[in-house]
Structures are given as structure tokens and as C-alpha cells.
Homo-oligomer: A and B are copies of this chain.
Amino acid sequence: MPIPFDVLAEPQRRRILDLLLERPRLVGELTAELGLSQPGTSKHLRVLREAGLVRVRQDAQRRWYELRPEPLAELDAWLAHYRHLWSASFDRLERHLDQLKDDAP
């Protein structure tokens, strides 16, 4: 699964992720919060779904959308290549991370 940069480039989609970070939501709720048309919201949700950033749980006619953070973890991994450029204590941090892994796997 490639990192969904283009999916995240859309502000409304990031707002959806922010909302889903709090709790799962119905399409109708998201539509209201975003101020979009219902089909517009559904279209964004489809893109997010296909990128693996959200999953759906069906409940009668309702669909609960919830976050799937895996692609964001991949984005995080990509960022790691650059992180030493701004994180002065990056090397020490890495060593501590390794140590954490050993402590509690």
C-alpha cells in the first residue's frame, strides 16, 4: 500500500480524519460537519477507503466510518528519513527506542 500523499492533500479529507480521530461517525454526521453535499462526502470517503485510511462498519442503512491508521504509519516511516535534519537528539532517541523494544516486546 503506497503512502497516500495525494489523498491527504485534500483539506476536507484531512478534516474527516481529524473528526474520525475523536470517534467513528456516520456519513450524515460528517456531511453536516463538513458543510458538503452528501454525495460529496461519500466521494471523499470512497477515496479514503480505497487508500486504506478508513474502514466501514455497516449497521442497517447506517455506515459507521472509523480510522485505519496503517497508511499514516507508513507516512511516518517515510518521514523518518528526514527526521535527523530537525531532531537534534534523534540518534539518542533511536537508541532509546531500541532499548524500549528490548524491554517490552
List the interface of chain A (C-beta within 8 A of B).
5-6, 8-9, 14, 17-18, 21, 67, 69-70, 72-73, 75-76, 79, 81-83, 85-87, 89, 92-93, 96-97, 100-101, 104
Contact = CB atoms under 8 A, between A and B. Distances in A.
B72 A82 contact: yes
A89 B69 contact: no
Chain A contact residues, majority secondary structure? helix
A97 B72 CA distance: 21
Contact of A89 (B70, B79, B81, B100): B100
Contact of A96 (B79, B100, B104): B100
28 contacts: A5-B9, A6-B9, A8-B9, A9-B9, A17-B82, A18-B81, A67-B82, A69-B82, A69-B85, A69-B86, A72-B79, A72-B82, A72-B85, A72-B86, A73-B86, A73-B87, A76-B79, A76-B83, A76-B86, A79-B79, A89-B100, A89-B101, A89-B104, A92-B104, A93-B96, A93-B97, A96-B96, A96-B100
